[in-house]
Amino acid sequence: MGYQSKTKDELIKELKKLHKDYVSLNASYEKYISDRKLSESELQESEERYRLLFENSGEAILLTNPDGSVYSVNPEACRVFGWSEEEICKIGRAGTVDSEDPRLKQALIERNKSGKFRGELTHLKKDGTRFPGEITSITFKDRSGNERTSIIIRDNSERKLADEKVRNSEAEYRSLFENSIMAISQAYPDGKFFRINKAYATMYGYPDTGTMLKELSGNAQNLYSNPDDRKRVLAGLEENDTMSPSEFELIRRNGEKFWALVGVKRVRDNTGKPLYLQAEHIDITNLKRVENERYLAALYSRNLLEASLDPLVTISKNGKITDVNRSTEEITGINRNKLIGTDFADYFTEPTKARKGYKIVFSKGIVNDYPLTIFHISGRKIDVLYNATLYKNEEGEVLGVFAAARDITERKKIEEELRTSKELLEKLNAHLNEVREDERSKIALNLHDDFGQRLTALNLDLAWLKSRMGVQSTGVKKKLEEMSLMINESIDSIRELSSFLRPAILYELGLVPAFEWQLKKFENQSGIKCHFNCKPKEFQIEDDISLILYRILQESLTNILRHSEASEVVIDLGTTKMNIKLTIKDNGKGIEEEKISSPESMGITGIIERIRSVNGKISIKGIKDKGTVLEISIPLTKIKG
C-alpha cells in the first residue's frame, strides 16, 4: 500500500538503495566467512605446528592439571623416563620428581607464586636411576578458561658430564702446564706475557714465575741473545700460525747465554681472532755440547780411519758398501763415491768366498784372518787378510760389518822366500847328513883298515921283541907288556869309534840286530833297563832310513841318560803298509814343554831335522814325574830329496 503512494522514480531509487545495501551486506558476510575460514585455517595450522612440536620435541613435555595429574605427555618424555604415556599419566607429575631433592620445595613455592618456574631438579626414571633435569614450568588457561601447566624437562646428564670433562680437562691442562718439565710461556699478540710455568722461570734463572713476569715487563724480546731472532719468529708466524722447533741462543737472568729448541704457535678463537702466542722451550745446551764432543770424536775417528794404512770398509746387512777410507780407494783404484752403494763382493777374485766371509760375521759376530784377493782397476791382484766384526748403534741394533784388510802381498813374498830358503836348508841339512855319514864311513874304514892294522902290526913286533929277550931283562919285558896292553886298548877304542862312526852291524845284519846290540850296550853302560819290542821280527827298509832310525835311537838314549833320571826304557819298532813307526818311552821326570822347541835342545833339533828330511812326523810329550814319549812315523815309499 505504501508503495502505491510512491512514484515510480521513488520506488526505483529505493530499489537501488536496497540492492546496494544487499550487495554491501553480502560483501560483509562473505568477508566474515572468509575471515572465519582464515582464522580456522590459522588455528588448524597453529594446532598442527604445536602438535608437531609437542610430538617431535627433543625435550620431555608433560601437560598437567592444577591438582598435578598428568593428562598428556610427548614421546620424548616416555623415552627419557622409561614409562609409557599411560604410566606417566597414572603416577602423575610427582612420580617423575625425586621427592628428596631439597630444591623441590622452593620450586613449588615459586611456581605457585608466579605461575612459572625455571631451574634444575633431580628426576626419577622407571629403572630407579636419577638424572639432573633442567625444568621449565608455565601455568596457562585453555579455551574453556581452565588452568593448565606445561612442564618441559631437559635431561642434563650429558651436559653435566661434558661440563665435568671440561673442568677436568682444564684442571689437567693447568696441572700439565704448571708441572711440565718443558718450559712454556703464553703472551698476548703484542708480546706481553700473561702466563709462564715454573720450568720456564727456572730455565731462565728466576726463583719463581711471578718474579720473572714482573722483571721482564712482559716483553719476550729481552730473552733473545740476538734481537733479530724475535723478529724472525714473528715474521714466520705471519705466514703460518706455527713455527717448527728451531734453535736459538737465549739469555738467562744472570746474563749467561744458553741454547734452546723453541717452538711457537698462534692460538685463535672460533672466529679466527688471535688470542695469544704460546712458546715451548727445551734447553739443549748440554745436548749441543755432547753433539760437539761427538762431532770431534767422529772427526778424530775419521782422521784415524783415513790415516790407517790398512783398507777399511763398512758393509750393510745386504752386503752393500756404506763407507771406505783412503787406503781402500788406493788398493782398488776406485773413488769412494763409486765404491759406496756397490756390492762388497764384486771387488774380489772370488765373490762367493767374499760374500760368505761377511755372512760369517753376521752369524758369529767376528771373523779373523780371512784370506781374499782384491782386484785393482789396473788388473793387478792383491792378496789380503780380512778381520771383521759387527758394529751397532747405541740401542745395540746391528747396523753392519766393519772390516779391515791387511795387504799380505809382501808378506806372502817373504813367506815364499822363507819357504824356499827352508827347503834349501833342509836339502842342505840332508846333504850334510849324507856327507857326514860318508865322512864317518871313510874315517871308520881308515881307522879300522889303516890305523888299526898299523897298531896290530906294532903289537906283533912288540911280541917278537919280547920272545927274544932273556930273563935278565925283566924290567924291559914288563914295559913291553904294558905297551902291548895299551896298543890292544887303542885297537878296541878304534874299533868302538869305528862302529859309532859307521855301525857295521847295521849294514851287515840289519836294523833290528843293530837296535838290540845298541840297547844291550846302553843297558850295560848305564844300568837303565831296556825293553825292545819289534813287529815283525825282520823287515827290509832303505839303508838311509835305517841309518836315520839308528841315529835317532842313539841320540834318544843319550838324552835319557843325561836328563831323564829314568830307570827303564821301552822301545817299540814296527811297520805298516806305508810307514815305519818307532816309539821310545822312559819313566823319568818328563821333558818340559818349553825345552821341546828350545833352540838350545840340540839333540831334539837334530832328531826333528832328520825326520823332516824323509817327510816323517814326530811327536814328543812329557808328563811330569811320569816320563817322556817320543813317537816317530816315516813313509817307506816316498823319500824326500
Percent of the chain with pLDDT over 70: 76
Say if 300 falls within a structural domain: no
Say if 473 falls within a structural domain: yes
Residue 584 confidence (pLDDT): 93
Residue 1 confidence (pLDDT): 44
Is the same domain home to 538 and 580? Answer: yes
Give the Cα separation of 154 and 279 in Å (integer).
Answer: 42
pTM above 0.85, yes or no: no
* pLDDT at residue 631 greater than cutoff 90: yes
**pLDDT tens column, 266-303:** 888 888 888 888 888 888 888 888 888 777 776 776 77
Model confidence band, residue 54 (pLDDT cutoffs 50, 70, 90): confident
Is the same domain home to 249 and 326? Answer: no
Is the same domain home to 71 and 36? Answer: no
Is the same domain home to 62 and 98? Answer: yes
Residue 480 confidence (pLDDT): 67
Residue 36 confidence (pLDDT): 63
Q: Among 8-12, 267-271, 287-291, 630-634, which stretch is predicted with the lowest mean pLDDT?
A: 8-12
What's the Rg (C-alpha) of the chain? Answer: 63
Summarize the confidence of residues 514-532 as an average pLDDT.
89
Is the same domain home to 277 and 204? Answer: yes
Say if 51 falls within a structural domain: no
Omega cis (within 30) before 207: no
Counting every residue written for the chain, the total comes to 641
Say if 298 falls within a structural domain: no
- Backbone CA torsion sign across 17, 20, 21, 22: positive
Q: CATH no. for residue 258?
A: 3.30.450.20
The domain boundary residue, chosen from 459, 482, 502: 502
* pLDDT at residue 387 greater than cutoff 70: yes
The secondary structure element, H or E, covering residue 35 is helix 8-56
Say if 467 falls within a structural domain: yes
Is the same domain home to 523 and 610? Answer: yes
Contacts of 440 (CB under 8 A, 6+ apart): 501, 502
Alpha helices in 57-101 (DSSP H): 75-81, 85-91
DSSP state of 208: S
Is the same domain home to 621 and 517? Answer: yes
The domain boundary residue, chosen from 404, 432, 454: 404
Q: How many CB atoms lie within 10 A of CB 223?
A: 23
Say if 174 falls within a structural domain: no
Is the same domain home to 35 and 134? Answer: no
Q: How many structural domains comprise the chain?
A: 6
Is the same domain home to 569 and 482? Answer: no
| 3-class secondary structure, 106 | helix
The secondary structure element, H or E, covering residue 129 is none
Is the same domain home to 432 and 544? Answer: no
Model confidence band, residue 549 (pLDDT cutoffs 50, 70, 90): confident
Summarize the confidence of residues 462-473 as an average pLDDT.
63
Question: What domain range is 190 assigned to?
Answer: 180-289
- The gap between the terminal CA atoms of the chain, to the nearest Å, is 186
Is the same domain home to 476 and 361? Answer: no
Percent of the chain with pLDDT over 90: 9
Closest CA to 496 of 471, 454, 531, 525: 525
Burial of 91 (0-12, 13-18, 19+ CB in 10 A): middle
Model confidence band, residue 638 (pLDDT cutoffs 50, 70, 90): very low
Say if 172 falls within a structural domain: no
Give me the phi and psi of 246, to 5 degrees please. -135, 155
Is the same domain home to 419 and 388? Answer: no
Q: Which of 165-179, 186-200, 485-499, 587-601 has the highest mean pLDDT?
A: 186-200
Model confidence band, residue 640 (pLDDT cutoffs 50, 70, 90): very low
Cα–Cα distances in angstroms (integers) from residue 355 to residues 218, 358, 405, 487, 496, in the given order: 66, 6, 15, 81, 68
The domain boundary residue, chosen from 260, 289, 318: 289
Summarize the confidence of residues 383-408 as an average pLDDT.
85
Say if 577 falls within a structural domain: yes
